[in-house]
A and B are shown apart, each in its own frame.
Chain A
Amino acid sequence: MKIRANATRQELSRLRARIRMAQRGHRLLKDKRDQLMREFLSIVHESRRLRQEIEERLGAAYKSFSLARAVLSPSVLEEALMVQGGAEEISVSYRHIMNVLVPEMEIQGRGDDRPEHDTAGDDEKKQGATDRGLGMLPSYGLATTSSDLDEAISKFQGILPLLVRLSHIERTIHLLADEIEKTRRRVNALEHVLIPELEQAVKSVAMRLEEMERANISRLMKIKEIVRAH
Protein backbone atom coordinates (compact mmCIF):
# COMPACT_ATOMS: atom_id res chain seq x y z
CA MET A 1 0.00 0.00 0.00
CA LYS A 2 1.37 3.28 -1.02
CA ILE A 3 0.81 6.33 1.12
CA ARG A 4 -1.04 9.03 -0.79
CA ALA A 5 -0.24 12.58 0.13
CA ASN A 6 -0.95 15.96 -1.37
CA ALA A 7 2.11 17.82 -2.49
CA THR A 8 1.93 20.62 0.04
CA ARG A 9 4.33 21.86 2.66
CA GLN A 10 1.83 21.12 5.36
CA GLU A 11 1.55 17.53 4.22
CA LEU A 12 5.31 17.24 4.08
CA SER A 13 5.79 18.33 7.66
CA ARG A 14 2.98 16.05 8.76
CA LEU A 15 4.68 13.09 7.06
CA ARG A 16 7.98 13.94 8.69
CA ALA A 17 6.26 14.01 12.09
CA ARG A 18 4.82 10.56 11.38
CA ILE A 19 8.26 9.23 10.53
CA ARG A 20 9.66 10.58 13.79
CA MET A 21 6.80 8.96 15.66
CA ALA A 22 7.25 5.64 13.90
CA GLN A 23 10.96 5.67 14.61
CA ARG A 24 10.38 6.35 18.26
CA GLY A 25 7.86 3.52 18.46
CA HIS A 26 10.26 1.27 16.63
CA ARG A 27 13.03 2.01 19.09
CA LEU A 28 10.79 1.41 22.08
CA LEU A 29 9.42 -1.84 20.73
CA LYS A 30 12.88 -3.03 19.90
CA ASP A 31 13.97 -2.38 23.47
CA LYS A 32 10.92 -4.22 24.70
CA ARG A 33 11.66 -7.15 22.46
CA ASP A 34 15.27 -7.33 23.60
CA GLN A 35 14.29 -7.22 27.23
CA LEU A 36 11.61 -9.88 26.75
CA MET A 37 14.16 -12.00 25.00
CA ARG A 38 16.59 -11.72 27.90
CA GLU A 39 13.92 -12.77 30.37
CA PHE A 40 12.82 -15.52 28.04
CA LEU A 41 16.23 -17.04 27.57
CA SER A 42 17.09 -17.20 31.23
CA ILE A 43 13.75 -18.78 32.03
CA VAL A 44 14.00 -21.25 29.16
CA HIS A 45 17.31 -22.55 30.42
CA GLU A 46 15.93 -22.86 33.89
CA SER A 47 12.93 -24.75 32.62
CA ARG A 48 15.11 -27.11 30.68
CA ARG A 49 17.26 -27.89 33.70
CA LEU A 50 14.18 -28.40 35.81
CA ARG A 51 12.58 -30.70 33.30
CA GLN A 52 15.67 -32.84 33.09
CA GLU A 53 15.87 -33.11 36.85
CA ILE A 54 12.20 -34.03 37.05
CA GLU A 55 12.56 -36.66 34.37
CA GLU A 56 15.41 -38.28 36.21
CA ARG A 57 13.74 -38.22 39.58
CA LEU A 58 10.42 -39.33 38.21
CA GLY A 59 12.07 -42.29 36.56
CA ALA A 60 13.53 -43.27 39.91
CA ALA A 61 10.19 -42.76 41.62
CA TYR A 62 8.39 -44.94 39.11
CA LYS A 63 11.06 -47.54 39.57
CA SER A 64 10.63 -47.76 43.32
CA PHE A 65 6.91 -47.69 42.85
CA SER A 66 6.96 -50.74 40.64
CA LEU A 67 9.27 -52.39 43.13
CA ALA A 68 6.67 -51.79 45.80
CA ARG A 69 4.00 -53.08 43.52
CA ALA A 70 5.91 -56.24 42.88
CA VAL A 71 6.32 -56.92 46.58
CA LEU A 72 2.82 -56.06 47.70
CA SER A 73 -0.27 -57.85 46.59
CA PRO A 74 -2.46 -55.76 44.28
CA SER A 75 -5.32 -55.72 46.74
CA VAL A 76 -3.16 -54.39 49.56
CA LEU A 77 -1.71 -51.73 47.33
CA GLU A 78 -5.12 -50.80 46.10
CA GLU A 79 -6.35 -50.50 49.62
CA ALA A 80 -3.39 -48.43 50.71
CA LEU A 81 -3.77 -45.96 47.90
CA MET A 82 -7.53 -45.90 47.71
CA VAL A 83 -7.87 -43.14 50.21
CA GLN A 84 -7.02 -39.83 48.71
CA GLY A 85 -4.26 -38.76 51.03
CA GLY A 86 -5.39 -35.17 51.03
CA ALA A 87 -4.52 -32.85 48.21
CA GLU A 88 -1.93 -30.15 48.21
CA GLU A 89 -3.38 -26.74 47.73
CA ILE A 90 -1.81 -24.35 45.34
CA SER A 91 -1.72 -20.63 45.75
CA VAL A 92 -1.59 -18.65 42.55
CA SER A 93 -0.32 -15.11 42.33
CA TYR A 94 0.54 -12.98 39.34
CA ARG A 95 3.52 -10.93 38.34
CA HIS A 96 4.23 -8.61 35.43
CA ILE A 97 7.14 -9.11 33.09
CA MET A 98 7.22 -6.26 30.57
CA ASN A 99 3.47 -5.92 30.76
CA VAL A 100 2.85 -9.64 30.43
CA LEU A 101 0.85 -11.13 33.26
CA VAL A 102 2.47 -14.37 34.36
CA PRO A 103 1.33 -16.73 37.09
CA GLU A 104 3.38 -17.88 40.03
CA MET A 105 2.35 -20.91 41.97
CA GLU A 106 3.29 -22.35 45.28
CA ILE A 107 2.23 -25.29 47.32
CA GLN A 108 0.31 -24.11 50.33
CA GLY A 109 -0.77 -27.33 51.93
CA ARG A 110 2.46 -28.30 53.63
CA GLY A 111 3.55 -27.67 57.15
CA ASP A 112 3.13 -28.65 60.74
CA ASP A 113 -0.12 -26.88 61.30
CA ARG A 114 -2.12 -29.80 60.04
CA PRO A 115 -3.61 -32.15 62.59
CA GLU A 116 -1.62 -35.34 62.49
CA HIS A 117 -4.39 -37.68 63.43
CA ASP A 118 -7.40 -36.72 61.53
CA THR A 119 -10.53 -38.60 60.74
CA ALA A 120 -10.36 -40.35 57.42
CA GLY A 121 -13.54 -38.71 56.19
CA ASP A 122 -11.98 -35.30 56.45
CA ASP A 123 -9.58 -36.02 53.68
CA GLU A 124 -9.69 -32.54 52.25
CA LYS A 125 -7.77 -31.31 55.22
CA LYS A 126 -5.87 -34.42 55.95
CA GLN A 127 -2.62 -33.86 54.28
CA GLY A 128 -0.73 -35.04 57.30
CA ALA A 129 2.37 -33.54 55.83
CA THR A 130 4.88 -32.98 58.52
CA ASP A 131 8.38 -31.99 57.77
CA ARG A 132 9.82 -33.49 60.88
CA GLY A 133 11.07 -36.99 61.33
CA LEU A 134 10.20 -39.21 58.43
CA GLY A 135 8.58 -36.48 56.47
CA MET A 136 5.01 -36.99 55.56
CA LEU A 137 2.76 -39.21 57.56
CA PRO A 138 1.40 -41.81 55.20
CA SER A 139 -2.31 -42.13 54.74
CA TYR A 140 -2.17 -45.90 54.71
CA GLY A 141 -1.49 -48.53 57.28
CA LEU A 142 2.14 -49.32 57.93
CA ALA A 143 1.49 -52.86 59.02
CA THR A 144 0.38 -54.25 55.69
CA THR A 145 2.63 -52.30 53.37
CA SER A 146 6.33 -52.49 52.77
CA SER A 147 8.94 -49.79 53.12
CA ASP A 148 9.36 -49.74 49.36
CA LEU A 149 6.01 -48.10 49.09
CA ASP A 150 6.96 -45.45 51.66
CA GLU A 151 10.08 -44.76 49.70
CA ALA A 152 8.26 -44.50 46.39
CA ILE A 153 5.66 -42.17 47.86
CA SER A 154 8.24 -39.96 49.44
CA LYS A 155 10.03 -39.73 46.11
CA PHE A 156 6.83 -38.65 44.46
CA GLN A 157 6.39 -36.11 47.19
CA GLY A 158 9.79 -34.65 46.55
CA ILE A 159 8.92 -34.23 42.89
CA LEU A 160 5.59 -32.48 43.32
CA PRO A 161 7.01 -29.06 44.32
CA LEU A 162 9.35 -29.24 41.33
CA LEU A 163 6.42 -29.96 39.08
CA VAL A 164 4.50 -27.02 40.45
CA ARG A 165 7.49 -24.83 39.73
CA LEU A 166 7.91 -26.30 36.27
CA SER A 167 4.25 -25.69 35.55
CA HIS A 168 4.36 -22.00 36.18
CA ILE A 169 7.67 -21.62 34.45
CA GLU A 170 6.36 -23.35 31.36
CA ARG A 171 3.26 -21.23 31.37
CA THR A 172 5.43 -18.14 31.65
CA ILE A 173 7.45 -19.34 28.69
CA HIS A 174 4.30 -19.81 26.67
CA LEU A 175 3.04 -16.33 27.49
CA LEU A 176 6.40 -14.69 26.87
CA ALA A 177 6.76 -16.51 23.57
CA ASP A 178 3.41 -15.09 22.46
CA GLU A 179 4.38 -11.61 23.48
CA ILE A 180 7.80 -11.81 21.87
CA GLU A 181 6.23 -12.97 18.64
CA LYS A 182 3.75 -10.10 18.68
CA THR A 183 6.40 -7.55 19.49
CA ARG A 184 8.69 -8.89 16.83
CA ARG A 185 5.97 -8.60 14.24
CA ARG A 186 5.35 -5.02 15.22
CA VAL A 187 9.03 -4.15 15.10
CA ASN A 188 9.33 -5.71 11.68
CA ALA A 189 6.20 -4.04 10.38
CA LEU A 190 7.52 -0.66 11.42
CA GLU A 191 11.02 -1.29 10.23
CA HIS A 192 10.29 -2.88 6.88
CA VAL A 193 6.91 -1.51 5.90
CA LEU A 194 5.71 1.65 7.57
CA ILE A 195 8.95 3.58 7.85
CA PRO A 196 10.16 2.90 4.27
CA GLU A 197 6.73 3.82 2.92
CA LEU A 198 6.66 7.05 4.85
CA GLU A 199 10.15 7.88 3.69
CA GLN A 200 9.13 7.17 0.13
CA ALA A 201 6.12 9.46 0.51
CA VAL A 202 8.26 12.25 1.97
CA LYS A 203 10.67 11.88 -0.89
CA SER A 204 8.00 12.08 -3.56
CA VAL A 205 6.26 15.02 -1.92
CA ALA A 206 9.58 16.85 -1.54
CA MET A 207 10.40 16.22 -5.18
CA ARG A 208 7.02 17.45 -6.35
CA LEU A 209 7.44 20.57 -4.24
CA GLU A 210 10.90 21.21 -5.69
CA GLU A 211 9.55 20.68 -9.16
CA MET A 212 6.81 23.19 -8.53
CA GLU A 213 9.41 25.58 -7.17
CA ARG A 214 11.48 25.26 -10.32
CA ALA A 215 8.42 25.68 -12.52
CA ASN A 216 7.60 28.81 -10.61
CA ILE A 217 11.11 30.25 -10.99
CA SER A 218 11.21 29.63 -14.72
CA ARG A 219 7.77 31.18 -15.07
CA LEU A 220 8.93 34.27 -13.19
CA MET A 221 12.02 34.52 -15.39
CA LYS A 222 9.88 34.27 -18.48
CA ILE A 223 7.50 36.95 -17.24
CA LYS A 224 10.43 39.18 -16.35
CA GLU A 225 11.74 38.81 -19.91
CA ILE A 226 8.38 39.72 -21.39
CA VAL A 227 8.03 42.71 -19.10
CA ARG A 228 11.56 43.95 -19.98
CA ALA A 229 10.92 43.64 -23.75
CA HIS A 230 8.12 46.17 -23.57
Chain B
Amino acid sequence: MPKVAVLGQRDAVLGFKASGAVAFPANNPDEAQEQLDAILQGDYAILLVTEEIAEVLEKDLEPLYDMPKPVVTILPDARKPRGVGMELLRKRVERAVGADILFKGEE
Protein backbone atom coordinates (compact mmCIF):
# COMPACT_ATOMS: atom_id res chain seq x y z
CA MET B 1 0.00 0.00 0.00
CA PRO B 2 1.25 3.48 -0.79
CA LYS B 3 2.08 5.85 2.03
CA VAL B 4 2.46 9.52 2.78
CA ALA B 5 5.88 11.13 2.52
CA VAL B 6 6.81 14.44 4.12
CA LEU B 7 9.72 16.42 2.80
CA GLY B 8 10.92 19.44 4.72
CA GLN B 9 13.20 20.89 7.32
CA ARG B 10 13.96 18.62 10.18
CA ASP B 11 11.82 20.41 12.76
CA ALA B 12 8.90 20.66 10.38
CA VAL B 13 8.69 16.97 9.53
CA LEU B 14 9.25 15.47 12.97
CA GLY B 15 5.69 16.07 14.06
CA PHE B 16 4.35 14.33 10.99
CA LYS B 17 6.67 11.46 11.48
CA ALA B 18 5.00 10.54 14.75
CA SER B 19 1.54 10.95 13.28
CA GLY B 20 1.77 8.42 10.50
CA ALA B 21 3.70 9.90 7.62
CA VAL B 22 7.17 8.90 6.49
CA ALA B 23 9.56 11.74 7.15
CA PHE B 24 12.34 12.86 4.83
CA PRO B 25 14.20 15.61 6.63
CA ALA B 26 16.30 17.93 4.50
CA ASN B 27 18.11 20.99 5.71
CA ASN B 28 19.64 22.25 2.49
CA PRO B 29 18.77 22.17 -1.22
CA ASP B 30 21.18 19.33 -2.02
CA GLU B 31 19.75 17.18 0.70
CA ALA B 32 16.24 17.99 -0.47
CA GLN B 33 17.16 16.88 -3.96
CA GLU B 34 18.52 13.59 -2.68
CA GLN B 35 15.49 13.00 -0.50
CA LEU B 36 13.17 13.72 -3.41
CA ASP B 37 14.94 11.09 -5.48
CA ALA B 38 14.54 8.65 -2.61
CA ILE B 39 10.86 9.44 -2.35
CA LEU B 40 10.31 8.88 -6.05
CA GLN B 41 11.89 5.44 -5.71
CA GLY B 42 9.44 4.40 -3.04
CA ASP B 43 5.72 3.78 -3.06
CA TYR B 44 4.12 7.02 -1.94
CA ALA B 45 0.69 8.24 -2.90
CA ILE B 46 1.10 11.66 -1.37
CA LEU B 47 4.10 13.89 -1.04
CA LEU B 48 3.77 16.74 1.39
CA VAL B 49 6.36 19.44 0.84
CA THR B 50 6.97 22.48 2.99
CA GLU B 51 6.80 25.83 1.25
CA GLU B 52 10.46 26.52 1.66
CA ILE B 53 11.55 23.27 0.01
CA ALA B 54 8.83 23.59 -2.63
CA GLU B 55 10.34 26.88 -3.73
CA VAL B 56 13.81 25.41 -3.93
CA LEU B 57 12.69 22.32 -5.83
CA GLU B 58 10.12 24.07 -7.99
CA LYS B 59 11.63 22.77 -11.24
CA ASP B 60 11.83 19.21 -9.97
CA LEU B 61 8.29 19.18 -8.66
CA GLU B 62 6.76 20.59 -11.83
CA PRO B 63 6.68 17.30 -13.80
CA LEU B 64 5.13 15.51 -10.83
CA TYR B 65 1.88 17.40 -11.12
CA ASP B 66 1.02 15.44 -14.23
CA MET B 67 1.98 12.07 -12.81
CA PRO B 68 -0.53 9.78 -11.12
CA LYS B 69 1.76 9.29 -8.14
CA PRO B 70 2.80 10.89 -5.92
CA VAL B 71 0.33 13.73 -5.52
CA VAL B 72 2.31 16.74 -4.42
CA THR B 73 0.72 18.98 -1.81
CA ILE B 74 2.37 22.04 -0.41
CA LEU B 75 2.27 22.54 3.32
CA PRO B 76 2.14 25.97 4.84
CA ASP B 77 5.33 26.91 6.58
CA ALA B 78 5.75 26.48 10.30
CA ARG B 79 6.95 29.97 11.00
CA LYS B 80 5.51 32.31 8.43
CA PRO B 81 3.07 30.96 5.86
CA ARG B 82 3.77 32.53 2.50
CA GLY B 83 0.77 31.09 0.73
CA VAL B 84 2.71 29.15 -1.90
CA GLY B 85 0.02 26.48 -1.98
CA MET B 86 -2.75 29.03 -2.31
CA GLU B 87 -0.84 30.74 -5.08
CA LEU B 88 -0.62 27.47 -6.99
CA LEU B 89 -4.35 26.99 -6.61
CA ARG B 90 -4.97 30.51 -7.82
CA LYS B 91 -2.83 29.93 -10.90
CA ARG B 92 -4.74 26.81 -11.82
CA VAL B 93 -8.05 28.56 -11.45
CA GLU B 94 -6.83 31.37 -13.60
CA ARG B 95 -5.69 28.99 -16.29
CA ALA B 96 -8.96 27.09 -16.35
CA VAL B 97 -11.40 29.94 -16.05
CA GLY B 98 -9.33 32.61 -17.74
CA ALA B 99 -9.86 34.95 -14.84
CA ASP B 100 -9.06 35.00 -11.18
CA ILE B 101 -12.45 34.29 -9.70
CA LEU B 102 -11.19 32.86 -6.45
CA PHE B 103 -9.75 35.92 -4.85
CA LYS B 104 -11.68 38.46 -6.79
CA GLY B 105 -13.00 41.23 -4.63
CA GLU B 106 -10.69 40.44 -1.77
CA GLU B 107 -7.38 41.73 -0.61
Interface check B81, CB cutoff 8 A: yes
B8-46 interface mask toward A, CB cutoff 8 Å, 1 = contact, 0 = none? 000110111111111100000000000000000000011
Q: Which of B62-77 contact A (CB under 8 A)?
A: 65, 68-69, 71, 73, 75-76
A90-B45 in contact (CB<8A): yes
B45-A160 in contact (CB<8A): no
Closest B residue to A164 by CB, please name it: B46
Q: A90-B1, A105-B45, A173-B92 are in contact. Are A55 and B19 (CB under 8 A)?
A: no
A151-162 interface mask toward B, CB cutoff 8 Å, 1 = contact, 0 = none? 011111101100
Tell me which residues across on chain A come within 8 A of B46, comparing CB atoms. Answer: 90, 105, 163-164, 167
A55-B76 in contact (CB<8A): yes
A88-B102 in contact (CB<8A): no
Report the bound CA distance from A127 to B22 in whole Å: 12
Tell me which residues across on chain B come within 8 A of A103, comparing CB atoms. Answer: 68, 71
B20-A44 in contact (CB<8A): no
A51-B71 in contact (CB<8A): no
Interface check A129, CB cutoff 8 A: yes
Tell me which residues across on chain B come within 8 A of A61, comparing CB atoms. Answer: 15
Contact size range, A: 35 or more
Interface check B7, CB cutoff 8 A: no
Tell me which residues across on chain B come within 8 A of A157, comparing CB atoms. Answer: 19-20
Q: Which of A22-76 contact B (CB under 8 A)?
A: 37, 40-41, 44, 47-48, 51, 54-55, 58-59, 61-62, 65-66, 69
Interface check B4, CB cutoff 8 A: yes
Interface check A18, CB cutoff 8 A: no
Q: A47-B89, A170-B89 are in contact. Are A65 and B2 (CB under 8 A)?
A: no
Interface check A87, CB cutoff 8 A: yes
* Chain A contacts to B: CB under 8 angstroms: 37, 40-41, 44, 47-48, 51, 54-55, 58-59, 61-62, 65-66, 69, 77, 80-81, 84-92, 103, 105, 107-109, 127, 129, 136, 138-140, 152-157, 159-160, 163-164, 166-168, 170-171, 173-174, 176-178, 180-181, 184
Additional A-B contact list (15), CB under 8 Å, known A47-B89, A171-B71: A58-B78, A59-B78, A61-B15, A66-B11, A81-B18, A86-B20, A88-B20, A89-B3, A107-B20, A156-B19, A163-B48, A167-B48, A167-B73, A168-B71, A177-B93
Task: Provide 20 A-B residue pairs closer than 8 Å at the C-beta atoms, listed in order of the A residue.
Answer: A44-B102, A55-B76, A58-B78, A77-B14, A81-B18, A84-B17, A85-B19, A87-B22, A90-B4, A127-B20, A153-B18, A156-B18, A157-B19, A163-B73, A163-B75, A170-B88, A170-B89, A173-B93, A174-B65, A177-B95
